Chain A
Amino acid sequence: MKPIFMTYTKKDLINLAVCMVLSVLIIPTFIKTEYWYTSILIPWLCLALATIGQQIVMGYTGQLALGAAGFMAAGAFAMFNLILRVPDLGFVGSLIVSGLIAAAFGILFGLPSLKVRGIYLMVATLASQFFIIWMIDKFGWFKNYDSSGIITAQDIVILGKPFTTPLAMYFVCLAVTTILTLLAMNMARGSTGRNWMAVRDMDIAAESMGVSLLRTKVQAFAISAFYCGVAGALFAFCYLKSLEPVAFDIKLSFKILFMCILGGLGTINGAFIGAAFILLFPVLLNAIGNNVFHGAIDATIISSIEQVIFGLLMIIFMIYEPLGMAKLWENLKQSMRSKLSSSGIKGVKSPILKK
């Protein structure tokens, strides 16, 4: 029996402690405005979780997929129906089961990855995106025959306690994201992740060394869709507070793809960095538009500029640093470290941090 959990190093535990103190103690003490929770922190955690899902399939396993929002929709609507129809399951149970339902879709639409890769696979995964959204839209049962098109999400109740304030919802998202992030790091470091990366780097070589392509790819798609499904459920229940298929259209899939790539392929912290950037940059741009130009620039122009900048950044990162912002961060830490330690010889990089 292989151990499922890797041992954590001292550095990991320090990082975890810092993150936990920051998110559980410092943020709730100092940030009092609801805006920060409802519009920034909660969507950030949800989208970062979905981006981890995208990372697993794209960054770690090297399969070009473009359907994260479809799986998120599957998770969100599964959650709605589970709470509605199987109330005994409870919030946490429903969350897990809706993740599993999304994973089932992931397996189904991940199967073409056994035959094809690259752009071909991208088209196959687009099918999942369009099919899932269509299915939810056309079959009234999924929406409980609601004709208005927008359904209000049920309140979150865990163990009889309601979690309805922004702060409480933030803690729900934080708890789920923390647990799943730790799990993802574990998988990425353990034999599962090694198999993913072997398939990414050269699938034929991996296969000849005894890594089952079928198992590895299907597993990656399933786990990725599970993450996206849970993220979608949280996104709908904590952030949107409503369910509509349009919220999970192809644009969201592209957004998650951008978070994944700009953040840094094949890194977990990249998912958080990328999600924060894509989410915060428009906020910043709007703030500049309102405060510097005093609304002289039309909002549509600002959103167009935002799109241009995202596109340019994508091109620039592909040319100069295909490993994204996580790598930049790593480089920054590296140079700081070599400046701090007197023994660091200029120009020579420490081999320890080499990926």
Chain B
Amino acid sequence: MANELLFFMEVLVGGLLAGTMYSLVALGFVLIFKASATFNFSQGAMVFFSVLAFCGFMQDFNIPFVLAFILAALLMVVVGLCTERLVLRPLMNASEDTVLMATIGLGYVLEGLAQAAWGVEVRRLDLGIGDFPVPWIADNLKLFISALDITAGLVAAIMIIGLFLLFKYTKIGLGLRAVADDAGAASSIGIPLKHIMLLVWSAAGVVALVAGMMWGARAGVQFALVDLALKALPVLIIGGFSSIPGAIIGGLIIGAVEKILEVYIGPFFGGAIEGWAPYVLAIFFLLYRPEGLFGEKIIRRV
């Protein structure tokens, strides 16, 4: 019995920590949605693009880790700048769906550019953190938890606290919230809309880079990251599109539920149900609580 409980705990903790990886991707979506009510479908492509660039800098040009990170982050700022200038500004008054489709196009551009520049083969990314159980925890608590998972959890926690403080207590954060609430009114009282957008897209780019590094260290830097990033969508639906804590809780729920289902119910159906389980979970959430756990209620006016 105790063993079963321990096993369950291990599955649960493993799932929760894996969930923080989804949260990291979802965080990028939330940042942009919060500031511009734009749904950025290209976030997954940004994850892929940024981490492939990082790997390219590090492995093809032998640039040291820190410098490569800074260069990749700068590259994401440039991507953010171009996106704001060339995609978002012309679509300022377009409908939500139109902008969404344009970001799907943007995703295609980023994926294509990344592969054209750095090739299509899978790259290994070694962060110096092993993806194996931490001996100390394994000995003392009898839980097998990967060091990479713990790092991802810590990184996610630091980023969330940082972003939360930024949104809540700084002038920039106030500006962001004002723009999110009513872009027209915000710009009429002198909040520089362009700068805010650039800032948000750059921040989302850096978040994507960090998320990509975590995923890349686990699964290798490859195109499949884009599909993995799609799983951030159910995370967002569960957590709510405009809530940073929601992205975290949503990620934890998805991570835990898909692992538990996979381990306990999966074997009856031949496994691999984690491919669709998050989406079906999202459907149930949509039917009962469309705004997500922490999202604002959607009010539509005629």
**A interface with B by C-beta (< 8 Å):** 62, 64, 112, 115-116, 118-120, 122-124, 126-127, 130-131, 134, 137-139, 202, 204-205, 250, 254, 257, 261, 300-301, 304-315, 318-319, 322
Contacts and interface: CB of A to CB of B under 8 A. Distances in A.
A311 to B, nearest CB: 3
Contacts of B130: none
B108 A112 contact: no
Contacts of B107: 311
B98 A116 contact: no
Contacts of B233: 119, 122-123, 126
Interface residues of B, number: 50
B122 interface: no
B282 A313 contact: no
Minimum-distance CB pairs A-B, first 6:
A314-B105, A311-B108, A307-B112, A127-B279, A308-B112, A311-B109
Interface string B69-105: 0000000000000000011001100101111111011
B97 A64 contact: yes
B119 A314 contact: no
Contacts of B119: 300
A319 B90 contact: yes
A308 B276 contact: no
B39 interface: yes
Contact of A123 (B102, B108, B269, B282): B282
B111 interface: yes
Given A124-B282, A311-B109, A318-B91, A118 B104 contact: no
B280 A319 contact: no
Interface string B31-43: 0000000010100
A119 B282 CA distance: 12
A311 B106 contact: yes
Contacts of B109: 307-308, 311-312, 315
B279 A318 contact: no
B280 A127 contact: yes
B296 interface: no
Interface stretch (B2-10, B141-149, B283-291): B283-291
A134 B276 contact: yes
A115 B290 contact: yes
A118 B97 contact: yes
B237 interface: yes
8 contacts: A122-B233, A127-B279, A138-B270, A250-B230, A300-B120, A310-B105, A318-B94, A319-B94
